[in-house]
Structures are given as structure tokens and as C-alpha cells.
Amino acid sequence: EAQVTQNPRYLITVTGKKLTVTCSQNMNHEYMSWYRQDPGLGLRQIYYSMNVEVTDKGDVPEGYKVSRKEKRNFPLILESPSPNQTSLYFCASRNGQGGLETQYFGPGTRLLVL
């Protein structure tokens, strides 16, 4: 089954404790991205990757890091989480540029930073 998986699905942590949210896709997609969703703000892009070892900032990259060492994986790293990073996070992937290809979303990771 074609899918994007994220782990963990729920996470409660404390300010300053480094964490990683993993994202993996099994469709051999070139393009992957991370979004955060906040009430009243919709989804905003954090980082995206066009292929292995190629990443770029989205609209809200501050406080986040990413890496793309393998095509299938695109982890999101919060090196020193703060309460304003409490949010719902989505990973997504698709094959190619523009809107012709369907973008697949993971199930979401709900993060609470105390």
C-alpha cells in the first residue's frame, strides 16, 4: 500500500529536549515536505526536499532542521523545542514538481511542548 508514515503520532516533551519526528514514504517519491498546522492559520510549510541531499526552507523554518540522506526518509528535528512549536505536523511526498502529481500526506504528529 502506498503510504507516508510518521512517528511518533503523539508526543509530549519539555522545553529544550531535542526530538526527532520521522517520516518515511514507500513510493520512491523525489519530493518531500513538512508542514505545521495551527488553528486559524492553516498549513504552513516548514522545509522541503527536492531529492537526496537537497533541501530548502519553507515559510516557517525557524527552530527546525531536516535531513534527506535517503530518498524514502525525511526526518524533522527540533534541537531545542519551545512551547510555540506545539502544533500538528504533517509530512508529505509526491513525485515531481508542480501540481500534476498527487501529494500524499502522512497521518500527522501532534506535538505538545511544555
Partner 1 sequence: AQTVTQSQPEMSVQEAETVTLSCTYDTSESNYYLFWYKQPPSRQMILVIRQEAYKQQNATENRFSVNFQKAAKSFSLKISDSQLGDTAMYFCAFILSGAGSYQLTFGKGTKLSVIP
Name the residue nearer to partner 1 (CB basis): 59 or 79.
Answer: 59
Least spacing, CB of residue 16 vs partner 1, in Å: 27
Name the residue nearer to partner 1 (CB basis): 56 or 70.
Answer: 56
Determine the 3-state secondary structure of 83 from DSSP.
helix
Query: In 3D, which of 110, 80, 86 has the Cα closest to residue 19?
Result: 80
Dist CA 25 CA 68 (whole Å)? 12
Least spacing, CB of residue 73 vs partner 1, in Å: 18
Least spacing, CB of residue 96 vs partner 1, in Å: 10
Judging by beta carbons within 10 Å of its beta carbon (0-12, 13-18, 19+), is residue 37 exposed, middle or buried? middle
Name the residue nearer to partner 1 (CB basis): 28 or 51.
Answer: 51
Dist CA 50 CA 37 (whole Å)? 22
Q: Which spans of this chain sit near partner 1 (rule: CB under 8 A)?
A: 31, 33, 35, 40-45, 48, 50, 56, 58-59, 88, 90, 92, 97-100, 102-103, 105, 107-108, 110
